[in-house]
Structure 1
Amino acid sequence: MTPIDHIAADLDELVAIRRDLHAHPELGFEEVRTSGIVAEKLAAWGIEVHRAVGRTGVVGILEGRGTSPRRIGLRADMDALPIEEATNLPYRSTVPGTMHACGHDGHTTMLLGAAKYLAETRAFDGTAVFIFQPAEEGLGGARAMLADRLFERFPCDEVYGLHNNPGGPVGRLSVRAGPAMAAADFFDIRVVGRGAHGAQPNRGIDPVVIQAALVQALQTVVSRNADPLKSAVLSITQVHAGAAYNVIPEEAHLAGTIRTFDDDVRALVARRMREIAAGVAAAFGAEIRVEIRDIFSVLRNSEAQAAAAAEIAAELFGASQVDTDPEPKMGSEDFADMLHAVPGAYAWLGGKSGANLHNAAYDFDDAIIPLGAAYLARLVERRSASAA
């Protein structure tokens, strides 16, 4: 029996877990119920459990039957997003304004499936380290676990992560060596002018007009300052100002994100944003405050581990179902910080077509649970061997 067949026999149980998690989503660092379910399941399967790692994270430890000292880490994220669900699914979110719109409920379930299989079979030599991470969606959950001495307390020789990819091809695993996902900075810009009556703009310094000029000027950073052969994205995603029809407000607020793969480009974008803001402020006689925060590092897969991931996926799914040269993604993932500490690889697994990630109509493809769980479990079986 293959790992896929073994895990598929438990599919009803795993789907029930996934849909329960979907119905009860929790935001980053609030995953109390979710982490409780994870801990209870692991303990019931005879796995050593450590709770409150990085606040609401959970780590499970399972020893194999052999004598290998190698320790293989597997990581899944648990948090949901602040999105109002727009599906009519019977297991849709019961929490207003919160839903699993990125499939973390499925990722958690796949890792639980891998853990259950490995606990039942113990067909590996070393130690499996199951890492259930909180707060992946921009709140620094990986960094919180690392600050809580994750890899000092639970050493790993390698660590692997997996994300679903709606739109497929179904069951196809994509993994590339080197930079695979972009770094991300979040920014907030405050434009401070002088409020006035809407009928007397000459008595104020209008932050709305200044904000509009700044939005336009910032678009030149990527188009005119960054090397066109090096990827960069600067997106303004929030614009806020005023609360009345006849009042010129005192302040306006811009926010957004920067995505880059190159450290020099990342520094250039931040520097030019500040310089442009200072110039616009001087031109209009206003004050502009710029805050830029490092949220995600560049996700870089180690060459040996990416190759191992592809080999294992080919064994399980067939060589035609493995893509070792996908385009890098401008999206970001805080598993990058774990890969800065321990060599490993992050892969994507295709699911059925439907609403995309971070969409209010998204739903995880339950049919790929045995595939993802088998892939994660096989990584432990193969990579924990003494000769690895």
Structure 2
Amino acid sequence: MKLNADQITRLTEIRHALHAAPELSGAEHETAEFIRSHLVSLGPDDVVTGLGGTGVAAVYDSGRPGRSVLLRCELDGLPIEEISDLAYRSTISGCGHQCGHDGHMTMLLGVAMMLQENPPNSGRVILLFQPAEETGKGARAVINDERFKSLQPDYAIALHNLPGFDLHTVLLKPGAVNCASRGIRIALTGRTAHASQPETGLSPALATARIIERLDGLSNCERLDAGFSLVTVVHCRLGEQAFGVAPADAEIWATLRTVTDDAMGTLVSSAETVAQETARHHGLALNISYDDVFSACDNDPALIVQLRESAKRLGLTIRDLDDPFRFSEDFGEFGSAGASAMFFVGAGLGQPALHNPDYDFPDDIIQTGTSMFYETTCRLLGENGR
């Protein structure tokens, strides 16, 4: 089953409206209401709002025993100023949909259109519009929401569009598919002094330089396997902008990245040791904190088989991935709730990369992603003859 021309036209209009009005992670209030208002007209048996903050879930329940299939997309945009001359470019200063979440939401609304016409004969389908993916907080917040217990799925599936690959190509990989990552914030505190007498204070300058050097030495990027580790220093601040004052404070931000959660634990321990030893050597107070914490994302092999069969039935080109991606996805959290898998759809060879200021989701793949979601859902519910 595929969307008809009128449905594609309507979904394209919806995608453009979403693109023009992005909201940042955790603040997707208007986006969530926009989605809710469209969902209620598409025949779900229940719509749950405020999940994990601003999340929305539409439930299509057959009322008969069977499996529960959750399809997930993301509500949030990015803190990026869009650079484009599109008629539907972002109207929100400093915020844009440069990751294509507007397209992902549109695809799930397309699935809702299909389910309205052909509701499940057994089990149920849950369409989850998740908040705060970009910060790594959303999936965890949804799963920890008490109301999610009643939505507990047997299977969870998500997709991401992927520039740099031919349009409509379905990219698959069992096992490790997205890296674990987290941001570490290292704060050092000493004592200010007059710049003419720095010896009377306690400056964190040399310690800052040493920590950056040692953090860089923790990277091992030769292969994207279980031993892979990458530390990227993303921000550094030292003292105040005053030529007469030797600094007392410094802050170093770095992103830690590994293929597995176990390796992340080891890398975190190593990074903390670097900070602790250096701070102690220089007599500085130390505070370490974390943000943007993403678990590794591992695809269930059996679900990848189902996705492969769906792509074959739809006549789509399939590409098998040899290595996981370095980027992270908080969809990995759903692996704790049931079997989960994320697949990817090529967004075009000439397309700007994700998070580029001129990126725009290609409307041509709305049909592709929607059909993959729907076909795989039917297969998992035992209705692949539909």
Q: CA deviation at 1:28?
A: 1.5
Q: Is the 8 A contact 1:7 1:117 kept in 2?
A: no
Partner of 1:206: 203
Q: 1:327 aligns with which of 323, 330, 337?
A: 323
Partner of 1:37: 34
Q: Is the 8 A contact 1:124 1:382 kept in 2?
A: no
Instruction: Give me the whole-angstrom Cα distance separating, in 2, the residues matched to 1:284 and 1:42.
Output: 59
Structure 2 segments unaligned to the other structure (5+ residues): none
Instruction: Give me the whole-angstrom Cα distance separating, in 1, the residues matched to 2:291 and 2:267.
Output: 13
Q: In the superposition, relative to structure 1, how do residues 312 and 150 fare at CA in structure 2: closer, same or farther (>3 Å)?
A: farther
Partner of 1:11: 8
Q: CA deviation at 1:263?
A: 3.8
Q: In the superposition, relative to structure 1, how do residues 130 and 280 fare at CA in structure 2: closer, same or farther (>3 Å)?
A: same
Instruction: Give me the whole-angstrom Cα distance separating, in 1, the residues matched to 2:268 and 2:275.
Output: 11
- Give 2:132's aligned amino acid: A
Task: Specify the SS of the correspondent of 1:188.
Answer: strand
- Give 1:17's aligned amino acid: I
Identical-residue share of aligned pairs (%): 32
Partner of 2:78: 81
Instruction: Give me the whole-angstrom Cα distance separating, in 2, the residues matched to 1:376 and 1:229.
Output: 30
Partner of 1:365: 362
Partner of 1:137: 134
Cα deviation 1:32-88 (Å, max 9, x = unaligned): 111111111111111131111112111101135x95522211110110111122222
Q: Is the 8 A contact 1:69 1:126 kept in 2?
A: yes
Moved more, 341-350 or 351-360: 351-360
Q: 1:153 aligns with which of 145, 150, 155?
A: 150
Structure 1 segments unaligned to the other structure (5+ residues): none
Q: 1:385 aligns with which of 374, 382, 386?
A: 382
Partner of 1:255: 253
Q: Is the 8 A contact 2:180 2:259 kept in 1?
A: yes
Q: 1:183 aligns with which of 180, 187, 190?
A: 180
Instruction: Give me the whole-angstrom Cα distance separating, in 2, the residues matched to 1:230 and 1:8.
Output: 48
Task: Specify the SS of the correspondent of 1:370.
Answer: helix
1:230 aligns with 2:227: yes
Q: In the superposition, relative to structure 1, how do residues 323 and 68 fare at CA in structure 2: closer, same or farther (>3 Å)?
A: farther
Cα deviation 1:105-133 (Å, max 9, x = unaligned): 11101111111122123375432111110
Instruction: Give me the whole-angstrom Cα distance separating, in 1, the residues matched to 2:147 and 2:314.
Output: 30
- Give 1:365's aligned amino acid: P
Partner of 2:190: 193
Cα RMSD (Å) of the superposition? Answer: 2.3
- Give 1:129's aligned amino acid: I
Partner of 1:340: 336
Instruction: Give me the whole-angstrom Cα distance separating, in 2, the residues matched to 1:92 and 1:248.
Output: 46
Q: How many residues align?
A: 381
Instruction: Give me the whole-angstrom Cα distance separating, in 1, the residues matched to 2:64 and 2:77.
Output: 39
Q: Is the 8 A contact 1:8 1:370 kept in 2?
A: no
Q: 1:105-144 residue pairs with structure 2 within 5 A? A: 105-122=102-119, 125-144=122-141
Instruction: Give me the whole-angstrom Cα distance separating, in 2, the residues matched to 1:303 and 1:98.
Output: 36
Q: In the superposition, relative to structure 1, how do residues 135 and 272 fare at CA in structure 2: closer, same or farther (>3 Å)?
A: same
Q: Is the 8 A contact 2:138 2:330 kept in 1?
A: yes
Instruction: Give me the whole-angstrom Cα distance separating, in 2, the residues matched to 1:46 and 1:202.
Output: 72
Instruction: Give me the whole-angstrom Cα distance separating, in 2, the residues matched to 1:279 and 1:287.
Output: 11
Moved more, 135-144 or 286-295: 286-295
Instruction: Give me the whole-angstrom Cα distance separating, in 2, the residues matched to 1:141 and 1:168.
Output: 28
Partner of 2:288: 290
